[in-house]
Amino acid sequence: MMGFSFRRFGAVLYKEFIQMRRDRITFGMMIGLPIIQLFLFGFAINSDPRNLPTLVEVNDNGPLTRAVIAGMQNSSYFDFKGAVEGAGGGEEALRRGDANFVVVIPRDFERNVMRGDRPEVLVAADASDPSATGGAVAALSGIVTVAISETLSGPLANAPGGAAPFSMVVHREYNPEGRTSTNIVPGLLAIILSMTMVMITAIAIVKETERGTMEMLIATPVKPLEVMLGKILPYVFVGYVQTIVFLLAARLVFGVPFEGSVWAFYLGFNLFVVVNLALGFLISTAASSQMQAMQLSFFTILPSILLSGFMFPFAGMPGWAQAIGQAVPATHFLRIVRKVMLKGGDVSDVTGELWALAAILLVISVIAMLRYRQTLD
């Protein structure tokens, strides 16, 4: 048995670069698409939406009512579109989607407040999309309380029942303005890397089998390891380019900070890239055509988006789903990126995630190697 030949490895690598350069569309997909996605999603996704269309049903015309409405309007969550008459009008508007909220000010609202009768202000929210209305609902009671206490002054200042016995102070750490892009942009790096790395590696390898060139390759003295490394390394390079572009854009366009240790990021990033390449390689051993490779890759992408904590909070999922999420490489890279970029973490903060990635890598590689031996014969 002869050992690893750097000349043959280099020849495969060189060939792969030529092919990559000739395949304009894939090349564009690798570099252009991530940038477009970053800008599109970075600007478009907002988990704390404002200016939601709101209607009001006013049954009391006092200054207190006007204060409540003005307070809601000023919070920027609510955008008053007009008034409705009677209960049926509000319901109809919600159902048609003309408004996300209908605020009902009850009859004799002001008088009842003065008396300390604790009247009820009904806010009907369209909760068919909870995340659209959640932020506004959460802010609502504070807004109303403040509006009322500012209006009632002098002897009536304490009329509504006085101040609460304690006060809550919430600090929004690591993202004080609560901007979605600060959360989304680092997460997108994990998603885009897993998308391109897994899919492109899988396709690049399956392409050789599908076009019959693999048969020619293995008829030459070239070793499987030389082929694999030669084919995969160019895509590691692509991953580096994507990440650099990404980090620059995150910093310059979205103002996402990079607080933590570059070394910790670099370590996590490289490990994540290798895990994805191994996953792509594993897929290539199962797929017999580029189409299948593409479809199988898509199966890995959806959990990366939905179960990794990128889209929805990880802690909010049931235990079994969290267990699946733990097996998704993007989950751990996402945590590394957020810890390092936003929370200023260093290597010791991300050791757990690094080990998790290493464990995933080990499992994937073992399965891939076992399968690859079979497919050679």
CA distances from 119 to 101, 312, 327 (A): 19, 36, 51
Radius of gyration of the chain (CA): 28
Rule CB under 8 A: choose which of 3, 162, 221, 319 binds another protein.
221
Q: Measured between alpha carbons, how far is 265 from 33 in angstroms, rounded to an integer?
A: 23
Residue 374 CB, shortest distance to another protein, in Å, is 12
Please report whether residue 8 would count as binding another protein according to CB under 8 A: yes
Pick the closer one to another protein by CB: 153 or 220.
220
Residue 102 DSSP symbol: E
The interaxial angle of helices 6-22 and 24-44, nearest 10 deg, is: 70
Site membership for another protein, residue 2 (CB under 8 A): yes
Interatomic CA distance for residues 247 and 236, integer angstroms: 16
Angle of helix 224-252 relative to helix 6-22, nearest 10 degrees? 50
Contacts with another protein by CB under 8 A: the residue count is 24
3-state secondary structure of 104: strand
Beta carbon of residue 22, minimum distance to another protein (angstroms, whole number): 5
Single residue of 70, 146, 222, 306 touching another protein by CB under 8 A: 222
Q: Which of 36, 87, 127, 216 binds another protein (CB under 8 A)?
A: 216
Closer Cβ to another protein, 215 or 259, answer by number:
215
CB closer to another protein, 235 vs 333: 235
Joined tokens for residue 100: 């996300």
Site for another protein in 318-377 (CB under 8 A): 377
Verify binding: residue 107, another protein, rule CB under 8 A: no
Closest CA to 328 of 205, 238, 195, 200: 195
Q: Is residue 211 at the binding interface for another protein, with CB under 8 A as the rule?
A: yes
Closest CA to 235 of 205, 209, 259: 205
Distance CA(22)–CA(98), nearest Å, equals 51
Tokens of 312: 């929805």
Whole-number Å distance between alpha carbons of 158 and 88:
36
235/269 with CB nearer another protein: 235
Exactly one of 153, 167, 220, 374 binds another protein (CB under 8 A); which one? 220
Stretch that binds another protein, among 5-13, 165-173, 285-293, 341-349 (CB under 8 A): 5-13
The answer to whether 15 contacts another protein (rule: CB under 8 A) is: yes
- Determine, following the binding rule CB under 8 A, whether residue 5 of this chain makes contact with another protein: yes
Task: Map tokens 């000023």 to a residue.
Answer: 74
Q: Is 1 in the site for another protein (CB under 8 A)?
A: yes
Which residues here bind another protein, judged by CB under 8 A? 1-2, 5, 7-8, 10-11, 15, 18-19, 22-23, 211-213, 215-222, 377
